[in-house]
Amino acid sequence: MARLEAVVTVSSDSAAPVSASAPVPSPRTDSEALLDGTDASPLFTPLELSGLPLANRFVMAPMTRQASPDGVPGEDVAAYYARRAAHVGLIVTEGTYVDHRSAGSSERVPRLYGEDALAGWRRVVEAVHRAGGRIVPQLWHLGVTREAGTPPYPDAPVFSPSGLRADGTRAGEPATIAEIDAVIASFARAAVAAREAGFDGVELHGAHGYLLDQFSWSRTNRRTDGYGGDPAARARLGAEVVTAIRGEVGPDFPVLYRFSQWKGGFYDARSADTPGELETLLGPLVTAGVSALHVSTRRYWLPAFDGSPRTLAGWAKQLTGLPTIAIGSVGVAQAFGEAKADASSLSLAPLVELFERGEFDLVALGRVLLSDPAWPSKVREGRLTEIQPFRQEDTTRLT
């Protein structure tokens, strides 16, 4: 089943670490700890992303809501996104199933195929655009994390690179080349549908242990053909999906790619053990035409590799030259998947310093936007006491 996706990373052009004199996050847990005297105005500067003008540097992160019966987003979903549209530069929707029959496991997760669902998405896009926002759908295939027998197509087989779950247990058979080609075509059709529905681009979900990430990760990809083995071969499927999409939508339609080291339930997992391996994994995506990288971490400020203070988003930006989106516990006291509070994520001072050093171009917000759609505007205007703190119950409703 899909997990709530609210994590934030940072990216870096520079090898320079956050200095010893950098703002130290405040131990306070109230909303006033957010600024600690820091000027957050740099995060409210405009940006053009592959020709798409964005009003500020904040992105609404994709978060599964399970609020679309029969896979169709309704007026409540349109209103939910529209409430946030005026406050962030870009919205990335919750994961939406592509039309491959093995893609999903819920009838309440939206899909990006079928006239009923596409009509619903057109209403969402129109509502967001009326509010002055920009929006892209996240294209999603669960891969081996899907349980056999689950809807919307209970008879569909589990699809994966090697028939292996992350824990090493068997689940179905390794995908054939013909089956891989069918999945690539499914993603391309979804991108075309997104463009025709009026979306401003697309994001591919290549993170958190789902299908594209399963091909990238050596634990779930044991193939011995051209889709497995070294990091470049493991990156092949993601790159071929991007190439297929580019062939359908042309060079100017923004195509974002989300990746992560961590996987659902395996927070210490790593697809790349060194910067060199990361470069090899990301290089084919750059060549294929990705516009930006959405780098998912659980704590945006942590170094990605031993021997360097640079964050994962920072490495991604330096190695590829692409714009990066950072994510990982901005404005909340707990990292995703943990109950223990860590007040170091509350202050925006380190976030602003990293941004000004070129560590990232955009920063995604997850859980804070569930409880307060206007969170960025309240920060910009200094209305910190009006900010509604994240509440766990907001993960189960459209606020």
User: Is the pLDDT confidence value at 17 over 90?
Assistant: no
Say if residues 316 and 295 touch (Cβ distance below 8 Å): yes
For 170, the 3-state DSSP assignment is: strand
For the ranges 25-34, 155-164, 299-308, which has the lowest average pLDDT? 25-34
pLDDT confidence tier of residue 93, bands split at 50, 70 and 90? very high
Task: Give Cα separations from 273 to 143, 223, 312 (angstroms).
Answer: 23, 19, 11
pLDDT at residue number 89 = 98
β-pairing, 47-49 vs 52-54, is antiparallel
- Tokens 């310093």 belong to 353
Say if residues 297 and 328 touch (Cβ distance below 8 Å): yes
User: Is the pLDDT confidence value at 54 over 60?
Assistant: yes
Copy the structure tokens of residue 261.
């080291």
Taking the C-alpha atoms of residue 256 and residue 250, their distance in angstroms, rounded to an integer, is 14
Q: Is the dihedral of CA 205, 265, 4, 357 positive or negative?
A: negative
- How would you classify residue 289: left for phi > 0, otherwise alpha for psi between -120 and 50, otherwise beta? left
pLDDT above 70 covers a percentage of the chain that reads 89
User: Is the pLDDT confidence value at 22 over 50?
Assistant: no
User: Is the pLDDT confidence value at 10 over 70?
Assistant: no
- CA torsion 253→257→258→261, rounded to 10°? -170
For 89, the 3-state DSSP assignment is: coil
Q: What is the mean pLDDT of the chain?
A: 91
**pLDDT, mean of residues 182-210:** 98
Taking the C-alpha atoms of residue 363 and residue 54, their distance in angstroms, rounded to an integer, is 12
pLDDT at residue number 346 = 78
User: Is the pLDDT confidence value at 6 over 70?
Assistant: no
**pLDDT, mean of residues 270-283:** 98
pLDDT at residue number 34 = 87
Taking the C-alpha atoms of residue 78 and residue 190, their distance in angstroms, rounded to an integer, is 19
Task: Give Cα separations from 317 to 14, 238, 294 (angstroms).
Answer: 9, 18, 10
Say if residues 379 and 351 touch (Cβ distance below 8 Å): no
Q: What is the CA radius of gyration of the chain?
A: 20
For the ranges 99-108, 147-156, 324-333, which has the lowest average pLDDT? 324-333
The residues near 243 (Cβ < 8 Å, ≥ 6 apart) are 288, 289
pLDDT at residue number 341 = 61
Q: Classify residue 396 by its DSSP letter.
A: G
User: Is the pLDDT confidence value at 388 over 70?
Assistant: yes
Q: Which one from 80, 113, 210, 227 is the annotated catalytic residue?
A: 210
Give φ, ψ of 113 to 5 degrees.
Answer: -160, 160
Say if residues 160 and 217 touch (Cβ distance below 8 Å): no
Could you report the per-residue pLDDT of 304-332, keeping only the tens digit for each? 999 999 999 999 999 999 999 999 999 98
Taking the C-alpha atoms of residue 302 and residue 300, their distance in angstroms, rounded to an integer, is 6
User: Is the pLDDT confidence value at 384 over 60?
Assistant: yes
Taking the C-alpha atoms of residue 308 and residue 205, their distance in angstroms, rounded to an integer, is 27
Copy the structure tokens of residue 22.
């950098």
User: Is the pLDDT confidence value at 269 over 80?
Assistant: yes
CA angle at 320 for the pair 317 and 321, rounded to the nearest 5°: 65
pLDDT confidence tier of residue 343, bands split at 50, 70 and 90? low
pLDDT confidence tier of residue 32, bands split at 50, 70 and 90? low
Closest listed residue to residue 276, CA positions, set 300, 237, 304: 304
**What does the DSSP assignment read for 271-325?**
S-SSHHHHHHHHHHHHHHT--EEEEE-SSTTS-SSTT----HHHHHHHHH---EE
CA angle at 225 for the pair 257 and 227, rounded to the nearest 5°: 0
- Quick one: 243 exposed, middle or buried, by C-beta within 10 A (0-12, 13-18, 19+)? middle
Could you report the per-residue pLDDT of 357-376, keeping only the tens digit for each? 999 999 999 999 999 999 99
210 is catalytic: yes
What's the topology of domain 31-396? TIM Barrel (3.20.20)
Q: Is the dihedral of CA 282, 363, 291, 260 positive or negative?
A: positive
For 123, the 3-state DSSP assignment is: helix
Q: Is the overall model pTM greater than 0.75, yes or no? A: yes
